[in-house]
Chains A and B, each alone.
Chain A
């Protein structure tokens, strides 16, 4: 089952930033990578991704350059130091929130929740 827009809404920039933590990427590659690494459960549309990337660029969280070495003229994105800091603070916030919700769900969470993924998966 894919996650709906509402579920993703607050964590989109975290997902994009963490995807760039593995190295520079271009837009199409980010979408493909998120889809693949989430097992097809996180499918962003182009119309959602690009405005986020451009906002991150304006905020100086990513730096960009054009390069056609891959055979096609593409705009590449890479994490800046500021972007890395934002990613970490967002990740912390998100994990904190998830743990809090989990705590509030109590026994229900114990019964239904899948085991948490290892924390070092972030950014790979």
Chain B
């Protein structure tokens, strides 16, 4: 039998099984024989091949759960992918395929014409962060956590993005967040990024994630670092004179002197737009620690990584809208 569905299922199962290559091959070979036998029997009952494959995949159950029963999975992992039969099969397929993509595969959002075309030179982001970001943009057809602890969400994200994901447990304890707090959420056709945002947004105090080298760190807002990034915004300003190449991570400039150079009403409007709309509480004019300054045709932002993400989004949207900030 050479079914793509089954191949994808086995690929996924192999991913979850923490066994030696020989053990994995053994299981794979045995399942192949079982499916061949079972498929014959099911088709003899009058099912179409497609129906039979779906039924048999259901018989094997969720690959993560099965891997767990084999003793290869993490005991804390209690998440499941579920849905209708067909959706489950498609889900397995899509995820199986996505696991084969190289780590730097472009996020699906980049294929959205308007946004992708309008994308202009942006803040340069460290390669490890860009790779993590791309991995987070991968979409899953369906993901469901039923009363799972935060750590199983962490394990799932780490597995799906093939990256290091760490939770600052001591900081969470200081905030009074129970590490066994059950998380229940079911989402369809979402990016891993969205799933993570949704889960973290439901915890009080609100948790965020930050990137340190190749590690995604989850913790309360005040425990995530402030990082400096410079954004090239010359295309968002009317006067398209020469602008420096964006460079980041950048040294914090001497804002007092250099900002004056582009301290025009238009620049001030853009800065105001950012601080008024993106996490307003995090900026210094609102008692936060974040700063934003203009330097020629770039803006230099010092704030949390999760604020930078929103700043980047906002600038992209302004580009997509095709208009200077007014």
Q: Decide whether A and B are members of one complex.
A: yes
Contact A28 B34 (CB under 8 A): yes
Number of A-B contacts (CB under 8 A): 50
Give Cα A27–Cα B71 distance, bound, in whole angstroms.
18
Residues of B near A46 (CB, < 8 A) are 31, 34, 38, 56, 59-60
Q: Is the C-beta of A124 less than 8 angstroms from some C-beta in chain B?
A: no
The stretch among B22-30, B127-135, B157-165, B300-308 that forms the contact with chain A is B22-30
Q: Is the C-beta of B232 less than 8 angstroms from some C-beta in chain A?
A: no
Q: A48-86 interface mask toward B, CB cutoff 8 Å, 1 = contact, 0 = none?
A: 101100110000000000100000111100000000000
The stretch among B62-70, B233-241, B311-319 that forms the contact with chain A is B62-70
Q: A54-B70, A75-B26 are in contact. Are A47 and B33 (CB under 8 A)?
A: no
Q: Which parts of A26-58 form the interface with B (CB within 8 Å)?
A: 26-28, 32, 45-48, 50-51, 54-55
Interface of A is mostly: helix
Known: A28-B38, A50-B34, A72-B33. 12 other contacts (CB 8 A): A27-B30, A27-B33, A45-B61, A46-B59, A47-B65, A47-B69, A50-B30, A51-B70, A51-B71, A54-B27, A74-B30, A75-B26
Name B residues whose Cβ lies closer than 8 Å to a Cβ of A. Answer: 26-27, 29-31, 33-34, 36-38, 41, 56, 59-61, 65-66, 69-71
Interface pairs (10), CB distance under 8 Å: A27-B34, A28-B37, A28-B38, A45-B59, A45-B60, A46-B60, A50-B31, A51-B66, A54-B71, A74-B30
Name A residues whose Cβ lies closer than 8 Å to a Cβ of B. Answer: 26-28, 32, 45-48, 50-51, 54-55, 66, 72-75
